[in-house]
Amino acid sequence: MPKHLELTPRLALIASWVRSGAKLADVGTDHAYLPVWLTLHGRVASAIASDLRSGPLERARETGRAWGAENIDFRLGDGLAFIHPDEADTVVIAGMGGENIAAILAAAPWTADGRHTLLLQPQSRAEDLRRFLADHGYAITREALVCDRGILYPVMEARAGRMELTPGQLYGGAKLLRDPLGERYIIEKIIRLQGAVAGLNRSTAAAGREKADALRDILTALLSMREEWRHANCPGN
């Protein structure tokens, strides 16, 4: 076992956003590296590590035992169903699809009561998560990109509030205009959507053509966002 527990770049970014003295709930904790690291460094007042499945939760307990962080509260449960609002002021949901994160938050509307900070890291379909947040009383207060094993991941901090996002921001990021990885992220989205449009163009169904038209509108918005990013970060070009 290494002398020091090291976090992946993805988890390290999330850890840097957890305020000192927070009451943490890490949903879908898997190996519990994040709550164990924060506990070992004295960054949190308390930590709950929960997972839907018993296998990952046992791995989480093993991590806690191995590093002497057994004071973490390990819980088996679905999302936030077994976590009381007063037990946490900071909720981390990372490493799952954006639609799954949205479903967890939808089942726990207390997360939009103004007393909780959400740190969210979707592995896929980040646009679905941004749309859910905008439609259900949350505002993204900051957002950043991290490259982990060659893959770009967005990390979002959200709280109760109001926000309106353009189609480009839904797909290209709500607050990534100054992010050094922003252009790469937007380009990757453009390439993915171009592939989807090409596939839909081969469809003879009216629904497929309509969806292709909608995706083309998003592509136009992303191309505009790329130009905005370039003007903000490369003023000499």
Q: What is the mean pLDDT of residues 54-79?
A: 95
Asked if 92 contacts 66 with a C-beta cutoff of 8 angstroms, the reply is no
Q: What are 93-104's pLDDT values in tens digits? A: 999 999 999 999
Q: Which of 126, 214, 201 is nearest to 169 (CA)?
A: 126
- At 75 the pLDDT is 97
Asked if 77 contacts 48 with a C-beta cutoff of 8 angstroms, the reply is no
Q: At what angle do helices 126-135 and 98-106 cross, to 10 degrees?
A: 30
- Tell me the average pLDDT of the chain: 95
- Strand segments, DSSP code E, in 86-137 are 90-96, 117-122
Q: Give me 237's structure tokens.
A: 């070009």
Three-state DSSP class for residue 157: strand
Q: What are 190-218's pLDDT values in tens digits? A: 999 999 999 888 877 788 888 899 999 99
